[in-house]
């Protein structure tokens, strides 16, 4: 029970913080007169006195610094919930304990510089997340500080009012977490700064200078944590990195929309959020229609002919393709070798040998086209310098010849002819050199190939002379199928990694597109080549890669183990795992966990945070099923459930269920790939539901039962792990959802 005296003190503290914020806001918005008046009023109405924070002094201190509009907006927003926790900390070398309130951003007394609110990302706030009361230590600016935490307190503050607080010790369950998990899903992801768990905190704060790979169970907070890590990263490295230099790669537009509001909530605006395909299309400016991996997946799921696409996707996503591209680049590089010297009117300015040395040795760190540009600049400057020398030399030679004619030829007629000839010739030759100089460099540069990325890439599939690929059947097949796609004016999704890779070596990435830190969500669905091409394009190791191998539905191209990524792309990466899951209930997770046993990866079972909920229910697909779910939805809606999704395996089933439900007017709409926004009642195939969550999920299956295959098991696992509260399975028989004897008791039939 909350002690009432303590509660009053906490209320006073909140009132004080708000009053301070109000004054800060007012000082920005109004003149000094208004400020003075407000200050007198505030002082009259408040009784809280805290000498350690020099409360009086703070309020009477009128000389506030100017804030930016953004800071002001964030301050106003913060006023609703200035902080969410407090720690009482006694640092060893200090005489007494200090109280720190922790919030989303810090607020300092502008005169004393003492913290009124401590930012959750600050080094000291780490102590709050690290779980223990008692002896602790933390690091700040390379120094380690030790001390004792005697109190950790969490607050429930809504719209600027304190409702409750709880002290946490080793035995109390994290009630704030429980509260937050029992809430219903909006159609957006939210920030979780007040309930970040210890294992999550370790990921957020893991060495920022190293890449990090996270394997996390469904619903373990991977997406959320990756975004919090960006916020922490920018806070800690604010002097070095700007948000614009962050690149966040997500699976589709819908997902981007879903996460779009978290970053501003975390104080990160303007980070670039896109899909891999979009990104490569923008960077390369190649906008041909792309046969996406989702289309190929759907073909496969619906039993249509997709084998060609699958096998070539596997090749083009693999390290083998990198080898092909490397060999091809070696060949291309040879075409940059020049044979001719660079001359001006017969005078050699720079030999071909020296020019080639620039290209192949001195500038070898630059992309080919950049090397060519640099050579151009060198030739231009050398030309300028040497042209002057050439003109001087010529002038000297003609003048000398003139002197000789004037003083050496006795016959006046002959002398006149010779002098007149030399004068004209001199003029002509000088003019000739000047004229040639104007075009010499551009003419010479024609010796270099013009790098048209798309043609170069497409030509690769006509290539017969790559040494290690002669008689390689797989490569012959890749060439044949790819040529057909290209001839139709299309690209295959797997071409994009190759294009990005070639572009990196040929022309390089434009500085505006060069990310300094990359976050990849749902990374298990990326091919080796996709991640490798990004790593090469950006020359940075600062990658945060999160995923779940159990959800790898693009198994034919995606990553099969994180070790490979670590061994071959990011040798210095930290590898961490998240095992606890926060999204769904124990009963739903029990059913989903059973699927993990069927997978080859043998991943550990996800451990749900204690929230029991109802058993998942099977609804037999008979004539009455629409009415059954109608009743369920009505009832759950009355009980406060907001978001409902019907998740199918195939697109075909999605259209079918939409049709079957249309007369009931339940408000369900099907969702398309490109769609950037979602409603509260959606019908969507499982691959699109990836990463998303809903209060209530109905898995619907009719024409394509889930088979006991790697792909189907993973697809079903993705689908089953989407609900927060309730799961229903609608189908002809439980076996269509891979439910067997051993699953008895994990679900019931309605």
Residues that bind ligand ATP (CB under 6 A): 177, 180-181, 190, 192, 195-197, 200, 216, 218-224, 548, 551, 582-583, 691, 693, 721
Q: Are 579 and 604 within 8 A, CB to CB?
A: yes
Please give the helix or strand (H or E) that residue 750 lies within, else none: none
Distance CA 175, CA 198 (A): 15
Please give the helix or strand (H or E) that residue 312 lies within, else none: helix 307-316
Query: Helix, strand, coil: what percent of the chain each, to 5?
Result: 50, 15, 35
Which residue has the CB atom at the shortest distance from ligand ATP?
Answer: 221
Distance CA 185, CA 171 (A): 29
Is 222 annotated in a binding site? The answer is yes
The smaller minimum CB distance to ligand ATP, of residues 221 and 317, is found at: 221
Quick one: tokens of 614?
């109802």
Phi-psi map region of 134: left, alpha, beta (phi>0 left; psi -120 to 50 alpha)? left
Q: SS3 of 27, please?
A: helix
The smaller minimum CB distance to ligand ATP, of residues 387 and 611, is found at: 611
Instruction: Find the shortest distance in angstroms from Cβ 741 to ligand ATP.
Output: 28
Instruction: Find the shortest distance in angstroms from Cβ 584 to ligand ATP.
Output: 8
The smaller minimum CB distance to ligand ATP, of residues 441 and 689, is found at: 689
Angle of CA points 496, 572, 493, to nearest 5° = 10
The torsion defined by the Cα of 635, 638, 644 and 648, in degrees rounded to 10, comes to 10
Distance CA 356, CA 239 (A): 41
DSSP structure string for 106-145: -EE-TTT--EEEEETTSTTTHHHHT--SEEEEEEETTEEE
The smaller minimum CB distance to ligand ATP, of residues 457 and 526, is found at: 526
DSSP code for 623: T
Determine whether 146 is exposed, middle or buried from the number of CB atoms within 10 Å of its CB (0-12, 13-18, 19+): exposed
R_g of the chain computed on alpha carbons: 34
Angle of CA points 249, 253, 259, to nearest 5° = 70
Q: SS3 of 57, please?
A: helix
Q: SS3 of 150, please?
A: strand
Is 221 annotated in a binding site? The answer is yes
Closest C-alpha to 409, from 737, 214, 401: 401
Instruction: Find the shortest distance in angstroms from Cβ 588 to ligand ATP.
Output: 12
Instruction: Find the shortest distance in angstroms from Cβ 217 to ligand ATP.
Output: 7
Instruction: Find the shortest distance in angstroms from Cβ 223 to ligand ATP.
Output: 4
Residues 6+ away with beta carbon under 8 Å from 294: 252, 673, 687, 688
Q: Are 336 and 449 within 8 A, CB to CB?
A: yes
Is 52 annotated in a binding site? The answer is no
Helix intervals (H) in 488-585: 495-506, 528-538, 562-568
Q: Which residues pair with 647 in a beta bridge?
A: 684, 699
Instruction: Find the shortest distance in angstroms from Cβ 575 to ligand ATP.
Output: 16
Is 640 annotated in a binding site? The answer is no
The smaller minimum CB distance to ligand ATP, of residues 125 and 436, is found at: 125
Instruction: Find the shortest distance in angstroms from Cβ 233 to ligand ATP.
Output: 17
Distance CA 701, CA 699 (A): 7
Instruction: Find the shortest distance in angstroms from Cβ 577 to ligand ATP.
Output: 11
Please give the helix or strand (H or E) that residue 642 lies within, else none: none
The smaller minimum CB distance to ligand ATP, of residues 196 and 324, is found at: 196
Instruction: Find the shortest distance in angstroms from Cβ 714 to ligand ATP.
Output: 12
The smaller minimum CB distance to ligand ATP, of residues 140 and 183, is found at: 183
The smaller minimum CB distance to ligand ATP, of residues 192 and 515, is found at: 192
The smaller minimum CB distance to ligand ATP, of residues 517 and 583, is found at: 583
Distance CA 249, CA 743 (A): 37
Phi-psi map region of 404: left, alpha, beta (phi>0 left; psi -120 to 50 alpha)? alpha
Q: Which residues pair with 574 in a beta bridge?
A: 212
Instruction: Find the shortest distance in angstroms from Cβ 292 to ligand ATP.
Output: 20
Instruction: Find the shortest distance in angstroms from Cβ 196 to ligand ATP.
Output: 5
Backbone CA torsion sign across 332, 337, 340, 342? positive
The smaller minimum CB distance to ligand ATP, of residues 187 and 648, is found at: 187
Instruction: Find the shortest distance in angstroms from Cβ 181 to ligand ATP.
Output: 6
The smaller minimum CB distance to ligand ATP, of residues 216 and 731, is found at: 216
The smaller minimum CB distance to ligand ATP, of residues 498 and 691, is found at: 691
The smaller minimum CB distance to ligand ATP, of residues 495 and 548, is found at: 548
Instruction: Find the shortest distance in angstroms from Cβ 460 to ligand ATP.
Output: 36
Largest CA distance in the chain: 127
The smaller minimum CB distance to ligand ATP, of residues 530 and 693, is found at: 693
DSSP code for 99: E
Residue 162 exposure: Cα atoms within 13 Å on the Cβ side: 25
Is 220 annotated in a binding site? The answer is yes
Instruction: Find the shortest distance in angstroms from Cβ 218 to ligand ATP.
Output: 4
Is 231 annotated in a binding site? The answer is no
Torsion angles phi and psi, residue 145, rounded to 5: -115, 140
Is 442 annotated in a binding site? The answer is no
Is 477 annotated in a binding site? The answer is no
The smaller minimum CB distance to ligand ATP, of residues 120 and 359, is found at: 120
Quick one: tokens of 579?
């095992």
The angle, 0 to 180 degrees and rounded to 10, between the axes of the packed helices 453-460 and 495-506 is 120
Q: Are 85 and 100 within 8 A, CB to CB?
A: no
Distance CA 528, CA 508 (A): 20
Task: Say if strands 617-620 and 748-749 run parallel, antiparallel, or are unpaired.
Answer: parallel
Instruction: Find the shortest distance in angstroms from Cβ 10 to ligand ATP.
Output: 23
Binding residues: 216-223
Binding residues for ATP: 216-223
């Amino acid at each position: 029970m909350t002690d009432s005296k303590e509660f009053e003190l906490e209320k006073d503290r909140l009132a004080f913080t708000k009053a301070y914020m109000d004054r800060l806001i007012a000082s920005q918005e109004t003149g000094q007169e208004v400020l003075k008046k407000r200050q007198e009023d505030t002082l009259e109405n408040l009784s809280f006195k805290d000498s350690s924070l020099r409360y009086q002094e703070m309020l009477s201190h009128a000389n506030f610094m100017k804030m930016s509009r953004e800071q002001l907006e964030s301050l106003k927003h913060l006023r609703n919930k200035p902080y969410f926790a407090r720690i009482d900390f006694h640092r060893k070398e200090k005489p007494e304990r200090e109280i720190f309130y922790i919030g989303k951003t810090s607020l300092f007394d502008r005169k004393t510089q003492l913290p009124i609110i401590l930012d959750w990302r600050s080094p000291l706030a780490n102590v709050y997340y690290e779980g223990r009361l008692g002896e602790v230590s933390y690091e700040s600016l390379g120094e380690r500080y030790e001390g004792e935490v005697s109190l950790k307190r969490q607050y429930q503050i809504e719209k600027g009012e304190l409702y409750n607080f709880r002290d946490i010790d080793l035995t109390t369950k994290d009630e704030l977490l429980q509260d937050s998990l029992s809430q219903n899903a909006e159609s957006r992801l939210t920030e979780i700064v007040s309930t970040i768990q210890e294992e999550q905190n370790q990921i957020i704060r893991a060495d920022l200078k190293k890449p990090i790979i996270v394997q996390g169970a469904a619903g373990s907070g991977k997406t959320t944590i990756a975004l919090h890590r960006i916020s922490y990263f920018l806070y800690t490295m604010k002097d070095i990195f700007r948000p614009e230099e962050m690149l966040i790669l997500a699976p589709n537009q819908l997902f981007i929309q879903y996460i779009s509001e978290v970053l501003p909530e975390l104080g990160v605006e303007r980070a670039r959020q896109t899909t891999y395909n979009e990104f490569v299309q923008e960077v390369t400016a190649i906008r041909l229609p792309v046969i996406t991996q989702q289309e190929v997946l759907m073909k496969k799921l619906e039993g249509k002919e997709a084998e060609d696409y699958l096998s070539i996707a596997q090749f083009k996503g693999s390290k083998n393709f990198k080898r092909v591209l490397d060999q091809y680049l070696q060949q291309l590089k040879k075409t940059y070798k020049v044979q001719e010297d660079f001359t001006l009117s017969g005078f050699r300015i720079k030999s071909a040998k020296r020019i080639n040395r620039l290209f192949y040795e001195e500038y070898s760190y630059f992309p080919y086209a950049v090397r060519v540009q640099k050579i151009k600049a060198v030739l231009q400057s050398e030309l300028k310098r040497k042209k002057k020398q050439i003109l001087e030399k010529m002038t000297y030679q003609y003048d000398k010849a003139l002197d000789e004619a004037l003083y050496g030829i006795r016959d006046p007629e002959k002398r006149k002819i010779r002098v007149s000839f030399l004068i004209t010739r001199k003029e002509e030759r000088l003019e000739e050199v000047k004229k040639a100089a104007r075009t010499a460099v551009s003419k010479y540069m024609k010796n270099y190939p013009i790098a048209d990325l798309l043609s170069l890439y497409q030509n690769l599939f006509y290539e017969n002379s790559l040494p290690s690929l002669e008689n390689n059947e797989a490569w012959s097949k890749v060439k044949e199928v790819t040529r057909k796609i290209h001839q139709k004016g299309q690209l295959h999704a797997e071409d994009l990694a190759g294009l990005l890779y070639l572009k990196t070596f040929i022309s390089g990435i434009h500085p505006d597109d060069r990310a300094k830190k990359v976050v990849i969500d749902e990374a298990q669905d990326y091919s080796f080549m996709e991640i490798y091409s990004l790593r090469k394009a950006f020359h940075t190791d600062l990658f945060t890669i999160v995923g779940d191998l159990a959800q790898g539905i693009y198994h034919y191209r995606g990553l099969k183990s994180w070790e490979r990524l670590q061994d071959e792309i990011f040798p210095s990466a930290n590898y961490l795992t998240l095992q606890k899951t926060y999204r769904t209930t124990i009963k739903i997770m029990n059913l989903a966990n059973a699927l993990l046993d069927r997978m080859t990866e043998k991943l550990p079972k996800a451990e749900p945070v204690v929230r029991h909920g109802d058993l998942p229910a099977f609804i037999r697909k008979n004539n009455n099923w629409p009415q059954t779910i109608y009743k369920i939805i009505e009832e759950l809606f009355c009980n406060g459930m907001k978001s409902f999704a019907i998740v199918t395996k195939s697109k075909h089933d999605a259209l079918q269920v939409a049709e079957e439900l249309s007369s009931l007017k339940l408000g369900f709409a099907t969702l398309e790939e490109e769609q950037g926004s979602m409603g509260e009642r959606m019908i969507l195939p499982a691959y699109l539901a990836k990463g998303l969550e809903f209060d209530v999920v109905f898995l619907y299956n009719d024409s394509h039962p889930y088979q006991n295959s790697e792909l189907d098991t993973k697809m079903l696992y993705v689908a089953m792990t989407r609900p927060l509260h309730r799961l229903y399975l609608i189908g002809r028989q439980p076996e269509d959802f891979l439910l067997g004897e051993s699953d008895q008791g994990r679900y019931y039939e309605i």
